[in-house]
Structure 1
Amino acid sequence: ISGDPHYYTFDNQIFHFQGTCTYVLSEVSNVAMAFYLLYRFDKIGNPLLILNFCHCIGLWKWFAVNGTFIATPFTLHNGSIQVYQSGFSLAISIDFGLLVTYDAYSYVTISVPYDYQNATCGLCGNYNLHPEDDFRSISGEILSSDVDFANSWKVEGDTDPECHDVRCTGLGCAVCTANEMSLYSDTNHCGILGDVSGPFASCHSVFSPQTYIENCVYDLCLGGGYQPILCQALNVYSAQCQQQGVQLGHWRQPGFCGKCCPATCSNPSTPNNCPLPNQESCVCDDGYILSAGQCVPEANCGCVFEGFYYSEGQSVVLGEDCGRQCVCSSRSMVCNQHQCGPAEVCGLHNGVRGCRPISYGTCSVESLGSYHTFDGQTFRYPGACGLTLARVMGPSQLPYFVLTVEKVPRGLQEFTRFLRFEAGGTHVSIELGEGSNVQVSQNVFFPSALY
């Protein structure tokens, strides 16, 4: 699945579908094992991939959007699941032969062993080597419309308000002008894929470039010629070719063909045991190695602890009850006991486990100078000067903020009131009253003496 998106089934049926819901990409179920892949777009158009599978009796859900952030590579469930970087994509390999790659942008590949012939269903088709019956709906009916087929695999119960059936057909969802067609089809754009003397020529005998050119032109039309879209479209054809062992000419600057599985601090010998062919990738300079996605000197590698890798200096809270806080130091993980406070609960926030407040203290100010503190004290102060409402006191590990209110004389009898807030280098000033004005400035320092 690539681009906006374009689908290439197991049997090489090609269709185009711009859905806004969650769809079953591929699903299989038998006595021994089952899996299903879901594909959807978030509210700003980024594709999300969700994989669920069960093996024998146990059920595991391991790939989700709001899970804990873990550095690759790592393994799960006694090594039956391997997650690692492959070229520019994340690869997920499961012991029964399923391999999924995802570039976290718009390119997904799903590979299954030949045992799965005529056993799959979903948008990727039934894998029976007959592309003419790939448009089989969830009810088993073979449809003539790719749009009706795709809509039939929409996941039931999708409550996202952005989810609705799509009725435009294939490449007709966006029409290129004659000028756009001519421009985006030349060898400086998508036409480079078909250039017989270009960097992709060695793959023409394996994959005809015509469909990839058409999809590339379509995506560029939708994106107004945005350069990263072109790079992504070229990468799709490149990746397909390299998976077949075809070595291409240099089409990136600089071009480099590296190991599909790069060496990492947690597994320096990975390239020697990689089952995949070499492909274009970013590699570390000699003497450096990948540490949580960053190239570091080999001497600066971090810690492998309880099956997962942590970079040097990284601090994490572990345990379902946040009972340990651990720091990676000199390749050793050092842990002390950790405990959440009485008004906190252990949980995940943006992929990071930690203690989160279960309640909040509230301070309020009423219009006639009546103040209510965080601890419930009430007092009145009608003064017409700048007052600090709240700020972080003294040395603290908490993020700093300061909130002030100020009355500025205007004329003989009137005042203009301002609420000012500063945090993280950003200052927000709000003029209170009807039709309030808001001014935001970045990285501005306001000395506390002004308050």
Structure 2
Amino acid sequence: MWFVWTIKKKKGNDFTTRTGEQLASEREANKFGNSWVTDKSTCPGASLPNDDSPPDELCDNEEHKARAQKMCNMMTAVEGPLSGCQPKVDGPALEKGCVEDICGVLSKDDHLGPKEKHEEAKIVACNAYTNFVDTCLEEGGILEAWRDAAKCPQIKKCPANSKYSLQMSPCPKTCGKQKKCLARKKKRVEGCECNKGYVLSDDECVKEDQCGCTLKVKGLRNTSR
């Protein structure tokens, strides 16, 4: 799925439709994307604004549809690592978008073979799950370790003195004095969290007494020791 947004240096207006309607968030991504479609031939599965005809069916191949549903079904599972997100996230809508995107990959006529298409479909599924998890955390949902179950790659190895966290603060303590954290509106994020007693200095976790001097909000590690 491709995203288009307006550039007006205003936060909160990214999901504005062609008619000016402000949508709540990426949970209405399909409605947002369809509002900007001008040619259905270049955007399979989409529907034009004010077009009452049904969208093109991407999952007319039952085998592709079954594979896509299997890859995306954790989004609506009543049990599993993402079940705690259900009260906060529109799982059926996100799963539907995931299935349609994967069907589009598996059904498109190109030079890729079955193995390459399957790998591309896995990437699409993992991107959809990442979007699902980000929305869940932003809305205060609860989740468990999900990447292995979804067959998605783990976050890259965390640096020294830090550990992987499913729900860490979006504004970790740093060597620099932060006046304002732009991500503070998000409740929790997935990422690498510094161990207790350590703070973030650029992309490293160091003890606070190793911070040395600072310039504005950017921490500088003391290397004179």
TM-score range, shorter chain: 0.5 to 0.7
Q: Which residue of 1 aligns with 2:90?
A: 208
Write out per-residue CA displacement over residues 77-97 of structure 1, whole angstroms, 9 at most, x where no aligned residue.
xxxxxxxxxxxxxxxxx7xxx
Distance 1:128 1:270 in 2: 26
Larger % of strand: which? 1
Is the aligned partner of 1:282 residue 2:192?
yes
Q: Which residue of 2 aligns with 1:232?
A: 127
Corresponding residue SS for 1:191: helix
Distance 1:235 1:297 in 2: 31
Q: Is contact 2:45–2:58 with CA below 8 Å preserved after alignment?
A: no
Distance 1:218 1:292 in 2: 39
Is the aligned partner of 1:179 residue 2:89?
no
Is the aligned partner of 1:245 residue 2:140?
yes
Q: Which residue of 2 aligns with 1:218?
A: 100
Partner AA of 2:42 in structure 1: V
Q: Is contact 1:260–1:276 with CA below 8 Å preserved after alignment?
A: yes
Corresponding residue SS for 1:283: strand
Closer, same or farther: CA 232–303 of 1 in aligned 2, 3 Å: farther
Q: What displacement does 1:274 show?
A: 4.1
Distance 1:329 1:243 in 2: 37
The percentage of counterpart residues that share the same residue type is 20
Closer, same or farther: CA 184–274 of 1 in aligned 2, 3 Å: same
Q: Which residue of 2 aligns with 1:166?
A: 42
Q: What displacement does 1:124 show?
A: 8.8
Q: Is contact 1:202–1:248 with CA below 8 Å preserved after alignment?
A: yes
Q: Which residue of 2 aligns with 1:295?
A: 205
Q: TM-score normalised to the size of structure 1?
A: 0.33
Is the aligned partner of 1:199 residue 2:81?
yes
Closer, same or farther: CA 288–218 of 1 in aligned 2, 3 Å: farther
Q: 5+ unaligned residues in a row in structure 2: which ranges?
A: 47-54, 106-116, 149-163
Q: 5+ unaligned residues in a row in structure 1: which ranges?
A: 8-22, 27-36, 38-51, 54-93, 101-109, 112-120, 136-144, 153-164, 313-327, 332-451
Corresponding residue SS for 2:194: coil
Q: Is contact 2:167–2:189 with CA below 8 Å preserved after alignment?
A: yes
Q: Is contact 1:261–1:270 with CA below 8 Å preserved after alignment?
A: no
Q: Is contact 2:59–2:65 with CA below 8 Å preserved after alignment?
A: no
Partner AA of 1:259 in structure 2: S
CA RMSD in angstroms comes to 4.2
Distance 2:190 2:101 in 1: 22
Closer, same or farther: CA 261–124 of 1 in aligned 2, 3 Å: farther
* Larger relative contact order (CA 8 Å, sep ≥ 6): 2
Distance 1:123 1:268 in 2: 37
Corresponding residue SS for 2:22: coil
Distance 1:242 1:308 in 2: 26
Q: Among residues 309, 321, 324, which one is paired with 2:218 in the alignment?
A: 309
Distance 1:290 1:250 in 2: 24
Distance 1:216 1:302 in 2: 47
Q: TM-score normalised to the size of structure 2?
A: 0.59
Give 1 or 2 for the bigger CA radius of gyration: 1
Within a 5 Å distance, the mapping from 1:408-427 to structure 2 comes to none
